[in-house]
Amino acid sequence: MTLLCVASVKGSPGVTLTTLALAAAWPTEHDDQKVLIEADADGGTLAVHYQLGRDPGLIGLTAAAGHQLDIADVWNHSQELPGGLPVVVAPDQPDKAANIISTAGCTLARPLAQRNDLVALVDCGRLSSRSAANDIVRHADALIVVLRPTAPNIQIAAHRLAAQRRLCENVTWLLVGDRPYSPAEIQGVHQVPVLGVIADDLIGARGLEHGTSDKKLRRSAFIRSIANVADTLADRFPLAPPGSAAVVVGDEGPAVDDRPPPPSAAPPSAFTGASADDGTTDTPVEGGP
């Protein structure tokens, strides 16, 4: 499986909204090959924002992972956002969220990382050396750090790069806008790969969050730039077809789960046919849902 952690190091560049958009835009041949997982120690926000229940969610999924996690457990402990994207919601109380993530994050991440037929995009919130989500990051295929390319943000992200690479070798930055510093300038100075640029398009970002019509969303710079980044990631981390044998790991060691996952609803249609965009900036995207 592909396990991708999305996080920030400073401010509120929109980690939750970015993770949500990447998961929705991820191109899959089958609708049941992706899931969004909240693992922000400051508490989940999607259940509140989209009026979902707190259960099923992260607490139940981490309990299931303590035995032998299979694909059915992921769906049993997920809910559907408007448009059909499966999401595993975290508790909204910070203490409760931090406790479950710090004590059971590794137990959950290890078997998820072993699957080859599913992509899990994990919202890790703001990372530091003491973050509860660090054990999840240790098992990730990539850590995607979302930041605005300003001097203070770049400086802090650069200072934390070495520590982050000790958790996950594959650290990449995802920029919100390309001003005042471009990807080429950042890569030249800090030798860190820049995954891409998300357009600073407040209208498009909030349109996705609040359910603007698909036609308007497809035209937005935000949606087009997110689709471009999702395509890039999907090319780097191809998935096996659902129903093929998938390795899972539990307390008793490796096993093979060859059961096909249950059907799931399609992703938001706003991303159908969304074309790539170079990330031209418009207006800022602040925070997440």
User: Domain holding 167: CATH number?
Assistant: 3.40.50.300
Asked if residue 276 is part of any domain, the answer here is no
In a domain? residue 285: no
- Establish if 202 belongs to a structural domain: yes
Q: Answer yes or no: is 243 within a domain.
A: yes
Q: Which residues contact 251 (CB under 8 A, 6 or more apart)?
A: 66, 67, 68
Give pLDDT, residue 208.
77
Q: Distance (Å, rounded) from C-alpha 28 to C-alpha 219?
A: 21
Average pLDDT of every residue of the chain: 84
pLDDT band of 102, cuts 50, 70, 90: very high
Q: Is residue 277 part of a domain?
A: no
Tell me what pLDDT residue 52 has. Answer: 96
How does residue 90 score in pLDDT terms, banded at 50, 70 and 90? very high
Condensed to tens digits (0 to 9), the pLDDT of residues 183-220 reads 999 999 999 999 999 999 877 777 777 665 565 666 78
The answer as to whether 146 is a domain residue is yes
Per the domain annotation, does 166 fall within a domain?
yes
286 within some domain = no
- How many of the other CB atoms lie within 10 Å of CB of 82? 11
- pLDDT above 70: residue 98: yes
Domains held by the chain: number? 1
Domain span at residue 177?
2-271
Mean pLDDT on 238-262: 53
